[in-house]
Structure 1
Amino acid sequence: MTLGGMPPLNNVAINASNISDIVASSNEILTAFASLDTDVEDITKSDGKLPLEFQCQYRRGKCSQPRTLKKNGSMHSYCEYHRQLSVRNQRAFDQKKRRQRRTLEADEEAEKRLCRSRRPTTHSCVEDVEV
């Protein structure tokens, strides 16, 4: 019986070639990460600062932190700190707008109820009117 297409571990014979394959693949991963680190080092200028296109683009003041990456690999506009800050501000703004909308809807509903209670009756007293 297989689990997820893989045979059970007790049926797999581990020999020296399997171990060397595992070590080689882990070395490939380590070298891939090392190359990413060297790429970042190549991007930085001689003074240690990132180029402007890789720096946080927060509007207020200068932030020299690197921009964060999106899940699809492209870059966000802000560093992680300023992203969290903008998310928090956006949530507060959204809550304020929802609160205002709810109070406006409640006021409109109260106005409708008030207008219904002041509506004239459907019968009219013609005898009371002097002509």
Structure 2
Amino acid sequence: MRLLSVTVLGTALVTAGLAAPAVGQATATGRGRITVEPGAARPGQRVQLSVPGCVRPRDAASAAFTGRAPLDGRGHGTATVKREVKPDMYTIEARCGARTVSGRFKVSNGLAWPAMLTPSNDL
């Protein structure tokens, strides 16, 4: 009976975690939005940025990034989260021609569900 309870609880936790979104959407001000993948980044991790509808995209910046992230012609770019950054919500600003789109994203020390489910060679 105990094995059944543990199995049911484990299945429920995994199902709930997989139902959580894998892509984070920064809360943007003004027109458009900034999308960050993965949704909750860890210190030292590279993240993918997307600013749909960004006309003449230039770059994106955040106090959590190691530097400015250039955006390509479609408004996509890659940034690296600083290793020493503390878990919190951080602002991102993307320059799109004469307009600036801003939003926020989360830095967390925790692992995302897909990373927890990936087998490790460390065992």
Question: TM-score band (shorter)?
Answer: under 0.3
More helix per residue: 1 or 2? 1
More strand per residue: 1 or 2? 2
TM-score by length of 2: 0.25
- RCO higher in 1 or 2 (8 Å CA, sep ≥ 6)? 2
Q: Which protein is bigger by CA-based radius of gyration?
A: 1
TM-score by length of 1: 0.24
